[in-house]
């Protein structure tokens, strides 16, 4: 649609429809303005946190190796784990597998 067609459609609307359209347009303008302000505010806050994060440049830097050296292994909690795994061996004979299943069925009853 061209601008002339849009204007022609707007002028063909009744006064009540024009008023409703104007209210809708005004509401969208307000919502868009609020979203724009929120976007600007979050961008300003983001740039401020970058300044704060880069501010303590005078603090000493510590390497990973130094941090590893500071860890005291004797202070770490130790949990004893027992090996509770079960090993199932597949039967060599096919009849043995069906016999095991039959025995399991009898045990259920």
Q: What angle do CA 80, 85, 88 make, to 5 degrees?
A: 170
Domain parsing of the chain, residue ranges: 1-55
- Nearest residue to 3 (alpha-carbon basis) of 23, 11, 14, 17: 11
Quote the percentage of the chain above a pLDDT of 90.
27
**Which phi and psi (to 5°) does residue 36 adopt?**
-65, -45
**pTM check: above 0.75:** no
The string of pLDDT tens digits covering residues 21-73 is: 999 999 999 999 999 999 999 988 877 665 555 555 556 777 887 877 777 77
């Amino acid at each position: 649609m061209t601008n002339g067609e849009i204007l022609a459609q707007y002028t063909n609307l009744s006064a009540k429809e024009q008023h409703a359209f104007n209210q809708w347009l005004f509401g969208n303008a307000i919502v868009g303005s609020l979203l724009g302000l929120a976007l600007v505010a979050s961008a300003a806050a983001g740039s401020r946190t970058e300044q704060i994060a880069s501010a303590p440049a005078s603090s000493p830097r510590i390497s990973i190796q130094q941090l590893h050296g500071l860890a005291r292994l004797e202070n770490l909690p130790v949990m004893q784990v027992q090996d509770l795994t079960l090993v199932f061996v597949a039967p060599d004979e096919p009849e043995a597998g069906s016999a095991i299943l039959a025995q399991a069925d009898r045990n259920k009853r």
